[in-house]
Amino acid sequence: DAARVAADFIREMEGNRATLDVREKQAADFVSEVDTGAERRIREVLDRLVPGAAVVGEELSPTASTAGETVFVVDPLDGTKEFISGSGDYTVNIALIHKGMPVLGVVYAPVKGELYAGHDPDSAVRWLEDTNAEKSIRVRRIPKAGMTVVASRNHGDSGKLDAFLENYKVEKLLKRGSSLKICAVAAGKADLYPRFGPTSEWDTAAGDAVLRAGGGMLVDLEHGPLTYGHAARKFLNPEFIAAPADFFTTG
């Protein structure tokens, strides 16, 4: 419900893209009134569902203490640059973190009308707005013809990515925005998403939960699972790889 409320607001604002108040937070990282408005709406719904819950979001100050065992991590508009450009590759991300691990995640792509969600093993689903139909999703076995790799359209270290991929048989390289890259792996539409360069916990937490629920893993370069709630490091992630779990035991 929280993701859909935010998505409805974002869609309402799409016609106002040309007049939006947009500022650059840092190089190639933008924020607009759409981001902050969507996050406020998400927090209102979460507070009704779980009064007083701690929420860490990309745009607004944390609510309550984030030092506890359980916290929501929110990116109200993952892919602001995609939104500004008119691309549909942006999402609303909401995750629930417990003891540093993503235990529930929702990723909603407003333009595409699709929602990904997961909480427990084998619970990952993809829901389509047009048909109101929900389908189970799962990572696939990596094809013998080679991997389909997804990479960021606007961010990341392309030199590191090219060097990393030299070690693998790659059939196709796709460029996509937002956490849809992680969801593509979770849904068996891609096999590998290596990310070299900075990301924050709200960029990955929801997709990570969906990926785990679909039989995949999101790990650092030492193959340790990403953990969340690291206020001391300003909620920054290490570089990571998203792939089916089997990739890290056989690949």
Instruction: State the Cα–Cα distance between residues 146 and 165, nearest whole angstrom.
Output: 11
Q: For 41-70, what is the mean pLDDT?
A: 87
| 218 membership: H or E segment, kind and range | strand 216-220
For 176-195, write each residue's pLDDT tens digit: 888 999 999 999 999 999 99
Among residues 88, 82, 119, 87, the alpha carbon closest in space to that of 212 is found at 119
State yes or no: pLDDT of 26 exceeds 60.
Answer: no
For 98-126, write each residue's pLDDT tens digit: 999 999 999 999 999 999 999 999 999 99
Instruction: State the Cα–Cα distance between residues 233 and 144, nearest whole angstrom.
Output: 40
Among residues 102, 88, 58, the alpha carbon closest in space to that of 206 is found at 102
The pTM score is 0.92
